[in-house]
Amino acid sequence: MSEIAVKIEKVSMNFNLEREQTTSFKEYIINLLKKKTTEYNNFCALNDVSFDITKGDSFAIVGGNGSGKSTLLKIISGIYSPTKGKVIVNGTIAPLIELGTGFDMELTAKENVYLNGAVLGYSKKFMMSKFEEIIDFAEINDFVDVPLKNFSSGMVARLGFSIATLVTPEILIVDEILSVGDQSFQEKCEKRMSEMTSNGATLILVSHSIEQVRKVCDNAVWLNKGNIMAIGSAEQVCNLYADNVYHLGSDTNEP
């Protein structure tokens, strides 16, 4: 029986969304005196979600905007705590969830390599030995002394991916950020992700590109409005999701 890398048990996630009811300062003061300034709406991002991801699997989470994909990744990464249920993670995680995470945009690319390496627990000596490899893979050789605030989103994504995959992690989480890169770099990242899973890493990928999911992942789950619609092989889930999008005439866009 395969070992479990991530176990998700009956996970639900609710957010309180504030909606201002005031349209003027005078109205705000009146409502404040009445102790009625805001209205709270409960939004369910995930609803009783359960599934397992086995070690060494390349697993995708697909679904339209607002379906709960990124929320689930942040719960797995430990950024959020679920409202209900629990997530058990067996292994260290290298998350690539948001552009710029772990970077100081005022510092140069070179300075950020060492900063991000320290955040990930690597020594400066180790990062120095891998510096050229990181820069070469990220394809930013001419920009090592340029502050990241002057980088395009694609350049930031390339640098982040290069550092995060410098050493094969036990669990790599990638959320859409590769979509900002060009096609050739995406293909290079896909090759590296495949190599890592071949070496025993577990990949959890969120992507709007069904073709990328088909190429990179073996298994997948389809989320819609925080609910599981299908789970199984990547090919089967992608086909079901694509059929659903086709019949609706557009992608599923939840609030």
Last residue of a domain, one of 167, 183, 205: 167
Q: How much helix, strand and coil, in percent to the nearest 5, is found in the chain?
A: 40, 30, 30
Looking at residue 252, what is its pLDDT?
42
For residue 199 the two structure tokens come to: 């070496």
Q: What is the mean pLDDT of residues 197-213?
A: 90
pLDDT at 38: 54
Tell me which residue of 236, 197, 216, 232 sits closest to 51, measured CA to CA: 232
Per-residue pLDDT band for 226 (boundaries 50, 70, 90) equals very high
- pTM over 0.75, yes/no: yes
Could you tell me if 198 and 248 lie in one domain? Answer: yes
More confident residue, 183 or 232: 232
Distance CA 95, CA 73 (A): 9
Residue numbers of the domain that contains 245: 1-8+52-92+169-255
Res 168 pLDDT > 90? no
Is position 143 within any domain?
yes
Total tally of structural domains belonging to the chain: 2
Residues 81 and 163 placed together within one structural domain of the fold: no
Q: In what order do the strands lie in the sheet with 219-224?
A: 93-96, 171-175, 202-206, 58-62, 219-224, 227-233
Q: In the predicted model, what is the mean pLDDT of residues 207-216? A: 88
Helix and strand element counts for the chain (H, E)? 8, 9
E strand intervals along the chain? 4-20, 38-54, 58-62, 84-89, 93-96, 171-175, 202-206, 219-224, 227-233
Q: Residue 252 domain-assigned?
A: yes
* Residues 115 and 187 occupy one common structural domain: no
Looking at residue 121, its pLDDT comes to 84
Q: What is the CATH number of the domain that holds 200?
A: 3.40.50.300
Pairwise pLDDT comparison (49 vs 177), residue with the higher score: 49
110, 71: one domain: no
Which of 78-82, 93-97, 118-122 is the most confident on average? Answer: 78-82
CA 234/CA 217 separation, integer angstroms: 6
Pairwise CA distance, residues 237 & 243, whole Å: 10
The confidence score (pLDDT) of residue 146 equals 97
Residues 3 and 88 in one domain: yes
Which of 125, 142, 167 corresponds to the end of one domain?
Answer: 167
